[in-house]
Amino acid sequence: MKTLKNWLFQSEKDNCITLSVDNKYTFRLYVLEDKIFRVLINLNNQLALDRTWCIAPNQDDPLEGRCRLSTKGFTLPNYDLIQDEHSLTVSTTQLRVIITQPLALTWQYKNSQGEWALLVEDRKTSAYLINPHGDGIEHYQRRYKDEKYYGLGDKGGDLNLAGRRFELRNLDSMGFNAKHTDPLYKLIPFTITKRHNASFGLFYDNLNSGWVDLGTEHDNYHLAYRSYKAQAGDIDYYFFLGPNVLDVTKSLVKLTGKTFFGPKWSLGYSGSTMYYTDAPNAQEQMQHFVDLCQKHGIACDSFQLSSGYTSINGKRYVFNWNYDKFPDPKAFTTSYHEAGLRIAANIKPCLLQDHPKYQEIAKKGLFIKDSESNSPERSAFWDDEGSNLDLTNPDTFNWWKENVTTQLLEMGIDSTWNDNNEFEVWDSEARCNGFGHEIAIKHIRPVMPLLMSRASMEAQQAHNSNIRPYLISRSGCAGIQRYAQTWSGDNYTSWQTLRYNIRQGLNMSLSGLYNTGHDVGGFSGPKPDAELFVRWVQNGIMHPRFTIHSWNDDHTVNEPWMYPQVTPIIRDTICLRYRLLPYFYHLLWLAHHNDEPMLRPTFLDHEHDEKTFAETDDFMIGRDLLIANVVEQGQRERTLYLPDNQTGWYCFYTHQWFAGKQSITLPAPLESFPIMVRAGAIIPISNRLAYVDHKQDDQREFKVFPAQGNAISYGTFFEDDGESYGYQRNQALWVKWQIESTNNRIDLTLSAKGQYIPAWKTITVTLPINETRTLYINNKIAHEILLAEIPNLM
């Protein structure tokens, strides 16, 4: 590795300052936004990869990728440049970087006193290293004792990543240990650093395998440091100033693309298990699931069809229906639709070597190619060897779309579950078409699941252009949120997994993957006992993705009715999810429209309260609900910390009010778990539904939790038909609310805009049971209001 040392100013053009380093390397500093700069360093002014699929400000990338040197989509603000003999300083109104000799960067921000304060600096010795004779890059920054680190996508263990080292590599980690296993499924080289007074983000736009060290490595010749290393590619990173953690996360999403806005039914309960589709009478087993949901009164919206429907002699062959198991796929999908359920079918991007279509696909050149021959590259896959499809080949991309259409959508399948898409091709020089410009797989492995999801989405959009698609993807990189919901993968059944999946999901959310969840009950290993299963379902209903999925060692199935003694608890817990769907759907809208995380660590909205940074099992869903799941066996009460929010908190069940900035202990019998509501919030509640249907959703309650004393709070709720693009044409309803409370009265002011007319015509307003103040709705004493009486601002 070569240390980059001496630089010379070369040019300044189009918000890009270029330096020449050691007469061999090109250093570019881009000023993209007041709070976002970019650093790009390469050898001999030659890009290792001239495109990116991760960066997509304000729009999606071209299919063939975005030019890596493009600044399109950024505001490119004014900045100041000052140069002297030994340094170069570049400043916007908010962020400043000082480049010194030998090459090292110091980052500063404008604090609340209007003074420049330190964020971070590169270590002064060997900050940037590149291998001039082959692959390998390294970047080192100073590390400080008061720093906390978050992000990196789906990583196990504690939420704060400090003091640990992580590998960046997509891997199928079935049965992973949620506390210790690394790497996992997704590759997102993004960290948030929280210092005492400010936060910043680093996103490395490099998808080669690598490592991030956040405090394990020590070297006698350097002060304490953190590092990023990759096996290949260029040093190419984006630096974000918060100054708050939430600002950093939202900046990453604005950089890499907005969260897709899926249909409302995607937030309902989704069943799944390997057992049904592996059974010889799979179609019958699938129908039995619908019958049992109806028998036990279990609300359900979809089923994720595992890959057994494609099997031949126990192995899985994508886009191949096993007609022995499913004699009539169209009749099967029709029966589900008649029951109000949708189906998401599992599809995999690797064809086993004895796949019925393998030779045909090989002749067409649709596979990733071996590095030393023109034959398809072969890797281990599902108890055999197979070849991965090359989604950077336009012919492959279109072949995939065609098969999604003919083999799934035309059969009545509603959605695609893009699975086993880690593309574990370890011949790093294996060749990809690159849309006409060949690329080694090492540079773009995590792009493949992104392109796979995009092809699936385009197929679904073409098949029914009036309906918003829903997709799932297990693997991916930054930008996968533009197409798909994701989850933590094939977790192992244990109490430990239940606890650490919560932290894993929060770091995924902080890394821009807002629409996420976990396999409820545990996927791999022993079946959960009744208590663990109940607690996992209680946790699951408070995540964006709520799916009970399993492949238990004893071939049992995780189902809502698997333990008759607790089936009523499971039914009521799922019912609570459905009653809260208006709240969850509004959060999905905010994730899409405002880049707001759905899952939130307690500190995200309470950074001023240092105690919220302690490791905890608590989390927020949206800004208003604080969730304290039970994650310990036998526990029947739960201690939780209430963040300092100035207005206090209500117990969702008893309506008892508590001041913030204190720990409390609440009962947690098996049938419930603590939920706290931020005082000053409104929680919209629906009637009990068997499945999502906007025509049957004919009741709406606003649970108002007013602040004590004098206070004002406000917000908006979103409604539409739950599946169309009508909201883009004003066919939606935005109900704006304000609560103004005094010691004597509570004033709720409602207004609306939009042309959508929901099935519910009246809003019933309820207050905490011990509330004695008089309620006024739009200046009238009332506890309900007709939708038609709400002023429409259109």
Nearest to 399 by CA among 484, 475, 459: 459
Bridge partner list, 190: 203
Q: Where in the chain is the domain with CATH 2.60.40.1180?
A: 694-789
Lowest-confidence pick of 143-147, 177-181, 237-241, 472-476? 143-147
Strand order in the sheet with 649-651: 599-600, 619-621, 625-627, 675-678, 649-651, 657-658
What is the distance between the alpha carbons of residues 490 and 306, in angstroms, rounded to a whole number?
13
* Model confidence at 184: pLDDT above 70: yes
* Model confidence at 720: pLDDT above 80: yes
* Model confidence at 530: pLDDT above 70: yes
**CB-based contact 779:750 (threshold 8 Å):** no
Q: What is the mean pLDDT of residues 751-755?
A: 97
Q: Which residue has the tokens 């270029």?
A: 18
Per-residue pLDDT tens over the stretch 393-437: 999 999 999 999 999 999 999 999 999 999 999 999 999 999 999
Domain 2-151+186-256 fold: Immunoglobulin-like (2.60.40)
* Model confidence at 479: pLDDT above 90: yes
**CB-based contact 566:530 (threshold 8 Å):** yes
Q: Percent of the chain at pLDDT above 70?
A: 100
Burial 725-747 (b: 16+ CB within 10 A, else e): ebbeeeebbbbbbebbbeeeebb
pLDDT band of residue 135 (cuts 50, 70, 90) is confident
Q: What angle do CA 108, 46, 26 make, to 5 degrees?
A: 35
Q: What is the mean pLDDT of residues 136-140?
A: 97
**CB-based contact 578:689 (threshold 8 Å):** yes
* Model confidence at 314: pLDDT above 90: no
CATH class of the 694-789 domain in this structure: mainly beta
User: 314 or 119: whose pLDDT is higher?
Assistant: 119
Per-residue pLDDT tens over the stretch 66-95: 999 999 999 999 999 999 988 999 999 999
115 CB-near residues (< 8 Å, 6+ apart): none
Q: What is the mean pLDDT of residues 219-242?
A: 96
- 3-state SS of 334-381 is HHHHHCCCEEEEEECCEEECCCCCHHHHHHCCCECECCCCCCECCEEE
314 CB-near residues (< 8 Å, 6+ apart): none
* Model confidence at 134: pLDDT above 90: no
Tokens of 279: 């059974």
**What was the pLDDT predicted at 58?**
80
Average pLDDT, the chain: 97
Q: Tell me, yes or no, if the pTM score tops 0.85.
A: yes
* Model confidence at 793: pLDDT above 90: no
Q: Percent of the chain at pLDDT above 90?
A: 97
Nearest to 678 by CA among 714, 650, 658, 703: 650
Per-residue pLDDT tens over the stretch 766-792: 999 999 999 999 999 999 999 999 998
Q: What is the mean pLDDT of residues 369-381?
A: 96
* Amino acid identity at 93: T
**What was the pLDDT predicted at 85?**
83
**What was the pLDDT predicted at 133?**
85
Q: What is the mean pLDDT of residues 569-585?
A: 98
Q: What is the mean pLDDT of residues 41-56?
A: 96
Per-residue pLDDT tens over the stretch 300-309: 999 999 999 9
pLDDT band of residue 794 (cuts 50, 70, 90) is low
**What was the pLDDT predicted at 636?**
98
Per-residue pLDDT tens over the stretch 727-740: 999 999 999 999 99
pLDDT band of residue 707 (cuts 50, 70, 90) is very high
- Count CB-CB contacts under 10 A for residue 609: 17
Q: Where in the chain is the domain with CATH 2.60.40.1760?
A: 2-151+186-256
